[in-house]
Every structure is written in C-alpha cells, then in structure tokens.
Amino acid sequence: MSKIKTAYFCQNCGYESAKWLGKCPSCNQWNTFVEELIQKDNKKTTANDWQSYHAETSSKKTQLLNTVITKDTPRIITADTELNRVLGGGIVPGSIVLVAGEPGIGKSTLFLQMGLQMQEGITLYISGEESEQQIKMRADRLNMQNENFYLLTETSTQTIFQEIKKLKPNLIIVDSIQTLQSPFIESSPGSVSQIRECAAEFQQFAKETHTPVFLIGHITKEGSIAGPKVLEHMVDTVLQFEGDRHYAYRILRTLKNRFGSTAELGIYQMNETGMNPVLNPSEILITQKEDQLSGIAIAATIEGQRPLLIEVQALVTQSVYGTPQRTVTGFDLRRLQLLLAVLEKRGGFHFGVKDVFLNIAGGLKVEDPSIDLAVLCALLSSYEDTPIPHEVCFAGEVGLSGEIRAVNRIEQRIAEAEKLGFQKIIVSKYNQKVLSRQRFNIEIVTLGRVEEVYRHLF
C-alpha cells in the first residue's frame, strides 16, 4: 500500500504547506490552515478518455503561433437576453463559467430556467444539493417543457463523467461545485483541495470537448466566493448574482470575462414564474409620483454598454445628537462625505450640523462618478426643502474645487433621458465639444460650477 500523504491548506486562499502555520504567507490570515488528505489514485481520467467524445480534439504538440488557424466559433445564443449581454454575446463553446451569489438569491432557478429554454442540443443539469423530485417541482412552477433536458443527482465526479460519456450533452450545469467530490482526493466535499480538483477536471473536460460548463458556487459570509482564489483563476468567466432578498430585482454582474467586457450588467425581476429579464430598467428605477417631493434627483448613469436613469433620494435633517449621522445605501460613503465638504467649502452650506441620509432607489449599487451631480442636487433640494422639477435630470462629476467635470458617452445618456420623456438635462460645460445639439429635442443646460447649479435650480 502507498503511504497516505497529507498537506495543510489555507481555507482562505488555498495556499499549500507541508506543515501547519499560524499565519498564511500568501493572504496574511491567522489560523486558517487545515490538514487534508491528498492521496491520489493513479487511475485518473486522462486526456485520451475524451478523444471519442467529439471528432475534433486539441493538438498536444508544439507549433508556431503563425501556423495556428483561427476560426470564428459561433456562440450559443440563449433565450435570455440579459444573460447573453453579460456573457458578451452568448455562450462560448468550451468555456467554463462560475456563477456565485447569496443563498436563496435565485441562482438555481435562473440556470434551471436557462437550461429548459435551450431547445437545441442536449442539456445536462447535475445537482448535488437537491433530489430529482425537488428539481421537477421547481420546473413545474416555471411551467416550461424541454424534451432534451436531463437530470443527474450525483456528487462523485467519476460517476458524473461516465454518465456524460453516455449522454454527450451540449451544455452542462453543475449545482454546486462545493458539493462535488473527486475519488482521487481523500478529503471531504467543499474543502480547498476537493474544489480545486473538481474544477480542474471540469476545466479539462470543457477545453477538450468544446462543451460549455456552468459551475454554480457558494459565497462566504464576507461575500467572497467560497473555496480557493485559484477557482476564479481557472474559469473563463465569473458572474456575481446579487440583490436584496426583499426587493423583486436581481442584478447579474461580470467580475471576470475572457470573451467580453467586465462592465456589463443584467437585471431580472423575480416572480412566481421565475426570473424575467428587465428590458427597460430605467422605467422601473424611477418611481412614478403624483406630487413633487424634495430631496429627489434623477441621474443619467451608464452600466457597461447600457444607459440607465436612476433615482437618488436624500434626506437632510437637523442633528439631535452631537455627532451628525451619515447613512448611505447603494453609494460610496466616502464619496458622499467628499461632496458634503465641497458644498460646505464652495457653497457655504452648513452640513456639519445636519444628519444626512442617501438612498439609490431600487436596491442598485452605483459606482459611476457621473451620479455626483444628481447626489449634490438631491442634497441641496432636501436642505432647502424645495422639490426639483419632474422633467429635469443630471449627468456630471463634481471636482474638489466645486467644478462640474465632463463625463464620457454623454450622447447616450441624453438619448436615454429623451426617450423617457425628460425635457431638460444638466451637464458639464466641458462636454460641449462633443455635443451635437441638433440631434436632440431635449433642452441641454451646460454649467461649470456648483454655485451655478444652485442658482439655476433654486
């Protein structure tokens, strides 16, 4: 019998050590090393096992870069327009995609729905968490039928690959990678070495058979993807599924994408029939109100390739206690403090004795600096208790000296505002060079300073 080998793995980053260490040299975390068995079997699946899967296999010999023949591989277009956008235009054959999100956010529902909508080709849904009956109940709730959709409830990768060889599917969905177990590693499912080994086996399978694989992953209580960081490096695309459980809207973001932009964003609405793609999120993110209220401003922002109009809500009240509060939802707290300092210094507004509360409507998190001007105007509106007219929106970054800076792709923002019926948009005067006003029926007001904005509105 061969000697059983063990090693110590950092549960935070996956660093391997021959002996136990108190502090991880890679991520500097304390007491994260756990001993795991790494006895491997020699009967491991080899590359030759996949040669009979498809006629086309990748070459294993060295060759000149100039002699490599490239061809445009057509992407697999799904019925889900938001997923296509986030993946960069559809599923790339042979790609391996990791999807992570909070428990109960709707990862399994979204990808079960996507698999049921794929009418061309065979889809295999591998579940290590639910029984066939549970998945069938969810499919009945989604009210979708697919003759080429197969289920497999199994956690051993060796058994999974034997079933894959018989079925030869065109798309594989694994729910979830943390429940799988490779027989070649003697440690429990969900451990660093098991996650790494199972992901490596699926990566080898995807690349050699040109079959796309979706791995659904768990996240830790800190919000990062559970398992070693190596897992994110191994896959081609990392998607983050986020949103508040109490809101109906879910956001699918790209954290890494080898085949497209990482700035893309997909928005879904969750209801009893599953995840419905939201085609025009601007209409949802702006609440329809009968009467005008102070402290509300509309910002023209851009997420990836998509222009969005979002509502910024601010509340400024007299501070009862000695230290004023600063509470923010969906916006950077430090950025808010910076804008309050600009208003205090350049405009003479005494926010130092006021409590300030800021909220981005709809549960969105916004990082685009062009929202600065709308935040500033919402704060001024609440401070003065004077509503901003319904038909006005804003796009501009605010500098430390109180100037309104130009933002990129201004024409896309203006076109979106015009499409939604706004009559006036306030932008930076430094955007004038790239603006062709003849194209738009909306009134474009160009201003250069915070004081000018205040005089114009109030």
Q: What is the pLDDT of residues 326-370, one digit of tens each?
A: 999 999 999 999 999 999 998 889 998 999 999 998 778 888 899
What pLDDT, on the 0 to 100 scale, is given for residue 383?
94
**Domain-embedded: residue 361:** yes
Domain count, the chain: 3
What pLDDT, on the 0 to 100 scale, is given for residue 58?
59
Question: What percent helix, strand, coil does the chain show, rounded to 5?
Answer: 30, 25, 40
Q: Are residues 144 and 12 in the same domain?
A: no
What pLDDT, on the 0 to 100 scale, is given for residue 47?
43
Residue 77 CA to residue 191 CA, distance in Å, equals 35
Q: What is the 3-state secondary structure (H, E, C) of 163-175?
A: HHHHHCCCEEEEE
Of 241, 259, 279, the one marking the end of a domain is: 279
Give the residue ranges of the annotated binding site for ATP. 101-108
Residue with tokens 């999974």, as numbered in its chain: 160
Q: Are residues 106 and 228 in the same domain?
A: yes
Contact status, residue 264 vs residue 133, Cβ threshold 8 Å: no
> How far from 370 is each of 352, 400, 402, CA to CA, in Å?
25, 14, 14
Of 230, 256, 279, the one marking the end of a domain is: 279
Q: Are residues 236 and 345 in the same domain?
A: no
CB atoms within 10 A of CB 284: 15
Q: Are residues 290 and 222 in the same domain?
A: no
Residue 222 CA to residue 234 CA, distance in Å, equals 22
Residue 417 CA to residue 178 CA, distance in Å, equals 44
**Domain-embedded: residue 57:** no
Q: Are residues 89 and 177 in the same domain?
A: yes
Residues of the chain with pLDDT under 50: 45-48
Cis peptide before 176 (omega within 30 of 0): yes
**Domain-embedded: residue 47:** no
What tokens appear for 144 in the block? Answer: 């979708």
Q: Are residues 428 and 313 in the same domain?
A: yes
> How far from 194 is each of 230, 352, 402, 429, CA to CA, in Å?
12, 53, 54, 57
What tokens appear for 389 in the block? Answer: 């007219």
Q: Are residues 287 and 403 in the same domain?
A: yes
Residue 87 CA to residue 78 CA, distance in Å, equals 11
Q: Which domain holds residue 411?
A: 283-457
Residue 454 CA to residue 291 CA, distance in Å, equals 22
Contact status, residue 425 vs residue 387, Cβ threshold 8 Å: no
- What CATH number should be reported for the domain holding residue 126? 3.40.50.300
**Domain-embedded: residue 441:** yes
- What CATH number should be reported for the domain holding residue 364? 3.30.230.10
Q: Are residues 249 and 300 in the same domain?
A: no
**Domain-embedded: residue 66:** no
Q: Are residues 195 and 232 in the same domain?
A: yes
Q: Are residues 397 and 333 in the same domain?
A: yes
What pLDDT, on the 0 to 100 scale, is given for residue 155?
92
**Domain-embedded: residue 121:** yes
- What's the Rg (C-alpha) of the chain? 26
**Domain-embedded: residue 46:** no
Q: Are residues 301 and 354 in the same domain?
A: yes
Contact status, residue 396 vs residue 376, Cβ threshold 8 Å: no
Q: Are residues 227 and 345 in the same domain?
A: no
**Domain-embedded: residue 51:** no
